[in-house]
Amino acid sequence: MSLAIDQNALTARLAKAERRGKIRAFLLVAPLLAFVLLSFVIPIANLVTQAFYGDLVSSNMPKTTAELATWNGTMPVPESLCESFVTEFKAAKVKDAALPTRIATLVNREFSGSLSKLRPVANNELSAPYCGALAKLNDEWTKPEIWNAIKIVSPSVSPRFFGSIRPETEENKIHLALFGRTLYVAAAVTLFCALLGFPIGFLLAHLPARTSNLLMIIVLLPFWTSLLVRTTAWIALLQQNGVINDTLVALGLIADDQRPVMMYNMFATFVAMTHVLLPFMILPLYSVMTGIKPNFVRAARSLGATPFTAFWRVYFPLTIPGLGAGCLLVFILAIGYYITPALVGGQSGQLISNIIAFHMQKTLNWPLASAIGTLLLAGVLLLYWLYNRLVGIEKMKFA
């Protein structure tokens, strides 16, 4: 009994003794924690909610939203729906003159041409029966499409923005095609980086320290110059009258009027992205390769393996953690790459991130941009999960 009390007292004393240290530790990381929260967690949470959540209709037209939720899509729509829609839509104009247009734009994205049908509702005097008044304004109001469009945009929480990626309209097909192209480019760049990075990593890991340090500086050199400078350098190299084309012409390898197009296309995107992302492949590979003792390959050779067998069955499997980390890193970075394809990619070299930027800056369809961004994030998380299943995150070595 007394022992138990002593025990509790001891635990309390320990907690008291450690409290100071804990508080100090927390205060030390607090600025970083706040920074990460502000600059990372909150924006991503915001992005994900943007992709699902939009209360423009539901907050301004609550009755319409409720009635549409119960409407089963049959025509004609009930009079009560027409009434609440017309009164709330007019009320919205009173609240804020721009509101009807904003709502109409939203509907218009779901059903093209809705803008011109919705605007008159706010601008004209309408009286009961409202369904009839709407039909008089425009014939479309007697058809289900426009009501369906309003129904789609009315709930505050819905996956409707992901619908923009369904390949039903021409515009939506572009999204899907760009997703496909982005995955293809990211996979190809990852492959190029792996093919180029593996021998370089091997060389760095097995040269004498002096030489390998010098070469490592060359590998890291791109990190010390701005991404824009590096990308612009590729423009200078690859363009029609660029260094490479001029050299090829000067050497007489190609005719002056047959300069190959190497700029503002997919090729330029491949070259520039591979160059920019190569260090991310080399560093983890180098780190893993320096840890592989020469005795493993020697043991394989002494046991009767040819140099190739020793490499393929013993050395290569041991580099998998580094190769996996490098591929994951390069692929994830490539899938969201923006500046380089925007500058050198031209029309055929644009990636999904360029479309996100387009929707952010030009069409101002932020929910759609968020939805595409969320899909990208989900894809990356899926990859990460897959990598964890196949290789194991704990085995990953970055540097």
Q: Which residues bind other proteins (CB under 8 A)?
A: 293, 295-296, 298-307, 309-310, 313-314, 317-318, 320
Within 10 angstroms of residue 89's Cβ, the number of other Cβ atoms is 21
Cα dihedral value 126, 127, 129, 135, nearest 10: -20
Q: How far is the CB of 221 from other proteins (least distance, A)?
A: 31
Q: How far is the CB of 318 from other proteins (least distance, A)?
A: 6
CB of 320 or CB of 377, closer to other proteins: 320
Within 10 angstroms of residue 214's Cβ, the number of other Cβ atoms is 11
CB of 43 or CB of 317, closer to other proteins: 317
Q: How far is the CB of 211 from other proteins (least distance, A)?
A: 16
CB of 106 or CB of 327, closer to other proteins: 327
Q: How far is the CB of 394 from other proteins (least distance, A)?
A: 13
CB of 7 or CB of 309, closer to other proteins: 309
| Nearest Cα to Cα of residue 357 among 366, 346, 347, 348 | 366
Q: How far is the CB of 260 from other proteins (least distance, A)?
A: 44
CB of 225 or CB of 302, closer to other proteins: 302
CB of 7 or CB of 306, closer to other proteins: 306
CB of 211 or CB of 309, closer to other proteins: 309
Within 10 angstroms of residue 351's Cβ, the number of other Cβ atoms is 26
Spatial distance between the Cα atoms of 107 and 69, rounded to a whole number of angstroms:
16
Q: Note the helical H segments in the chain.
A: 2-36, 42-52, 56-60, 62-70, 79-95, 99-110, 114-123, 130-137, 144-153, 170-206, 209-220, 227-238, 243-250, 266-290, 294-302, 307-310, 316-335, 339-344, 352-361, 366-390
Q: How far is the CB of 307 from other proteins (least distance, A)?
A: 8
Sorted by sequence, the CB contacts under 8 Å of residue 132 that are 6+ apart come out as none
Spatial distance between the Cα atoms of 312 and 301, rounded to a whole number of angstroms:
12
Strand partners, 217: none
CB of 180 or CB of 317, closer to other proteins: 317
314-322: Cβ within 8 A, 24+ apart? 318/288, 318/292, 319/198, 319/201, 319/285, 319/288, 319/289, 319/292, 320/391, 321/284, 321/288, 321/391, 321/395, 321/396, 321/397, 322/201, 322/284, 322/285, 322/286, 322/287, 322/288, 322/289, 322/397
Q: How far is the CB of 303 from other proteins (least distance, A)?
A: 4
Please give the angle made by the CA atoms of 218, 221 and 223, to the nearest 5 degrees.
140
Q: How far is the CB of 193 from other proteins (least distance, A)?
A: 23
| Identity at 221, one-letter amino acid code | L
CB of 262 or CB of 314, closer to other proteins: 314
Q: How far is the CB of 392 from other proteins (least distance, A)?
A: 12
Q: How far is the CB of 284 from other proteins (least distance, A)?
A: 17
| Identity at 94, one-letter amino acid code | V
Residues 49, 366 contacting (CB under 8 angstroms):
no
CB of 65 or CB of 319, closer to other proteins: 319
